[in-house]
Amino acid sequence: MWLAAAALTLVIGLPLLHSAEDKKLTVYAAGKTYELAVADVDKQEYAGLAELLGPLGKFEQHASLGTFRLRLNDKEGEFSVGKKMARVGTVQLLLPAKAVVDHGRLLVPVRGLPGLLEKYGQKAELHAAGRRLFVGDAGERVGLEVKRPGDNLVVSFPAAVSPTISTEGNKVHLLFTKDPVLFWADSIAYTDKLFTQAKFIEQNGIAEVVISGNAPLVASLGDGGKSISITAAPQVAATSASQVVPQTSAPATSPASGPPAAAVQSNSSTAAPQAKAAPASTLVPFFVMIDASHGGDDPGARFSDKLLEKDITLAIARKLRTELSNRGITAALLRDNDSTLTYDQRAVATNARRSGTYISIHAGVPGSGVRVYTAMLPAESFEKNARPHGPFVTWENAQAGFLSRSQTLATALVMEMGSAKIAAGSAVAPLLPLNSIAAPAVSIEVAPPRVDSTIDSLSAAKYQQAIAVAAATAIANVRGKMEERR
Ligand SMILES: [Zn+2]
């Protein structure tokens, strides 16, 4: 049973860089947010007045001989290049510095924009240091609350927001490029077992909230985009981390001596942080992350009183781990018990382990046999020029660089199922958390073997075993291709 991908954009574990960016001013007006390029002229920041006024109403501009006439709705302003004195309607005003022209565009000092807009009948507030301009009633105050039990810090908003979220060690960065969020402090210090500080930053037209803790944190968007919940990241057991990272030679070939697979524990904010990514220079041995979908509070599909999808996915996942181990491939289960994990937690843990391949398992009807899914990425990830988040890979596009290998794996799985006389096909779908996995990634959905099979056949050990054998064989066959460019 599937859930469609959420419209949440996240950034993967990179520190945020602001230095190389061009200067810009973000304008928040009723129902719209737009950016103006900011230019430095004589140590003053300038922005284009036509670009500012254009989106705010009915707009017209006429220019001749160094004089610009800019009309917004019923008010016309007159500006002369090289002059501080200007007029809007019948009112004279003095700009903080002279108006200038650049490539035929009238530029005025950013500091003078609120006064100018007021003359045009628009109330405005400028946050000069952060280069954010709020027009009319735009602006939403952020709420912040630590909730117990649950050990989460909830950041709430009066209206839905679409932040870029990134994690960096024990910090979560919430980056607001479009949302008119307002802060009421520069920072808050917490005396809390998990959270230590919340910082509020306005910089180059962007608002940022940085939550620091004393363990790795993870964030998820909820309440229709009106709240962000931050909590401790799921922890990969220390024993499993030490199994995976130091091995640079071939993994153990004997299943008996193979390492027990890791399981991600359910959240605990008190334990020490352990889910650390290996340094980029470390050679990480090929490793398969198996994700038994659903679990804990989320049963998945309910086939009968006793037959739940979450139990079937776990049973198949364990069999797959054994079969991979039999083929000399190290594998771990994201959950090896009935714990509840969010899709973000699953992706975070998979990426933190630098998994070589990710395979999630679902079970469901209708249909028969096994359907293999690869990610359907947002259109923008294929547009070379679209860089909505600068140099960062967005959370929902993390899969972009791995898609062709994911499809290679899907094809191998379908072929191997076919060889084992299991009906199989592949498809592309916007499934969580595939888009956010930074590794070759597929989801398989297991249906009963034949259209006329009973639903109970999903729990038949022999059928589950046949699927695990075919999947492990397929992964072993394409392992070399999965490891390319890691
Ligand atoms: Zn499912």
Q: DSSP states of 4-23 as a string? A: BPPS-EEE-S-----TTSPP
How remote is the CA of residue 45 from the centroid of ligand 1, in Å? 53
Tell me whether residue 120 is in a domain: yes
For 55-59, 149-153, 165-169, 407-411, which range has the lowest pLDDT when averaged over its residues?
165-169
352 Cα: distance to centroid of ligand 1 (angstroms) = 23
Residue 93, pLDDT above cutoff 80? yes
Cα 482 to averaged position of ligand 1 atoms, centre (Å): 25
Structurally, how many domains does the chain consist of?
3
Return the higher-pLDDT residue of 204 and 281: 204
Average pLDDT of the chain is 81
- At residue 232, the pLDDT reads 85
Flag whether pLDDT at 431 surpasses 70.
yes
Q: Can you tell me the mean pLDDT for 246-251? A: 34
Whole domain around residue 194: which residue ranges?
A: 9-18+139-232
Examine the domain organization and report whether 174 and 248 are in the same domain.
Answer: no
Q: Would 290 be classed as within a structural domain? A: yes
CA of 150 to the centre of ligand 1 (A): 25
**Shared domain check, 76 and 205:** no
Q: How, if at all, do strands 370-375 and 424-429 pair?
A: parallel
Laid out side by side, the sheet with 424-429 consists of 330-333, 287-292, 357-363, 441-446, 370-375, 424-429
On whether the CB atoms of residues 474 and 413 are closer than 8 A, the answer is: yes
Neighbours of ion ligand 1 (CB under 5 A): 1, 293, 300, 362
Q: Which of 224-228, 301-305, 387-391 has the highest mean pLDDT?
A: 301-305
The predicted structure's pLDDT at residue 31? 80
The strand pair at 441-446 and 370-375 is best described as: antiparallel
- Would residue 26 count as lying in a domain? no
Instruction: Give a yes or no: residue 407 inside a domain.
Output: yes
pLDDT value at 377 more than 80: no
Predicted pLDDT of residue 270: 33
The pLDDT assigned to 233 comes to 79
Strand partners, 344: none
The verdict on 455 and 331 lying in the same domain is yes
Tokens representing 48 are 């284009």
Q: Could you tell me the CATH number of the domain that includes residue 99?
A: 3.30.457.10
Based on the fold, state whether residues 418 and 453 are members of the same structural domain: yes
- pLDDT tens-place string over residues 155-164: 988 888 888 8
Task: Say which amino acid occupies 257.
Answer: S
The CATH number of residue 250's host domain is 3.40.630.40
What spacing in Å lies between the alpha carbon of 301 and ligand 1's midpoint? 6
Cα 245 to middle of ligand 1, angstroms: 31
Question: Cis (ω within 30 of 0) for the bond into 216?
Answer: no
> What's the 424 CA to ligand 1 centre distance in angstroms?
17
- Rounded to the nearest whole angstrom, what is the distance from the C-alpha of residue 442 to the centroid of ligand 1? 13
Residue that is last in its domain, among 110, 130, 150: 130
Last residue of a domain, one of 232, 247, 265: 232
pLDDT band at 375 (very low <50, low <70, confident <90, very high): confident
Do residues 451 and 465 share a domain? yes
The domain boundary, picked from 198, 232, 266, lies at 232
Compute, in angstroms, the gap from residue 172 CA to the centroid of ligand 1.
29
Is there a single domain that holds both residue 411 and residue 448? yes
CB 80 within 8 A of CB 69: no
**DSSP states of 431-443:** BTTGGG-SS-EEE
User: Residues 409, 477: one domain?
Assistant: yes
Centroid of ligand 1 to alpha carbon of 2 (angstroms): 5
Whether residue 27 is contained in a domain is answered as no
Cα(298) to ligand 1 centroid in Å equals 10
DSSP bridge pairs for 426:
372
Q: How confident is the model at residue 484 (pLDDT cuts 50, 70, 90)?
A: low
pLDDT, greater one: 383 or 21: 21
Distance from the CA of 135 to the center of ligand 1, in angstroms?
Answer: 45
Residue 275 lies in a domain: yes
Residue 353: per-residue pLDDT? 83
Tallying the residues shown for the chain, one arrives at: 486
- Considering the domain architecture, whether residues 243 and 228 belong to the same structural domain is answered as no
Say whether both 301 and 211 belong to one domain: no
161 within some domain: yes
For residue 12, the CA-to-ligand 1 centroid distance in Å is: 25
206/450 Cα distance (integer angstroms)? 55
The answer to whether residues 101 and 182 belong to one domain is no
- Between the CA of 167 and the centroid of ligand 1 the distance, in Å, is 27
Same domain? 392 vs 464: yes
Give domain status of residue 199, yes or no: yes
Token digits for 358?
A: 């990710």
Give the pLDDT mean for 48-73. Answer: 91
Find the CATH number of the domain harbouring 174: 2.60.40.3470
For the segment 331-342, the average pLDDT, to the nearest whole number, is: 94
1, pLDDT greater than 80 = no
Q: Say yes or no: 362 and 383 in one domain.
A: yes
- Which one has a higher pLDDT value, 392 or 150? 150
Which pLDDT band, with edges at 50, 70 and 90, does 61 fall under? confident
Tell me, in angstroms, the distance from the centre of ligand 1 to residue 368's CA: 15
**Best-predicted range by mean pLDDT among 17-26, 149-158, 383-392?**
149-158
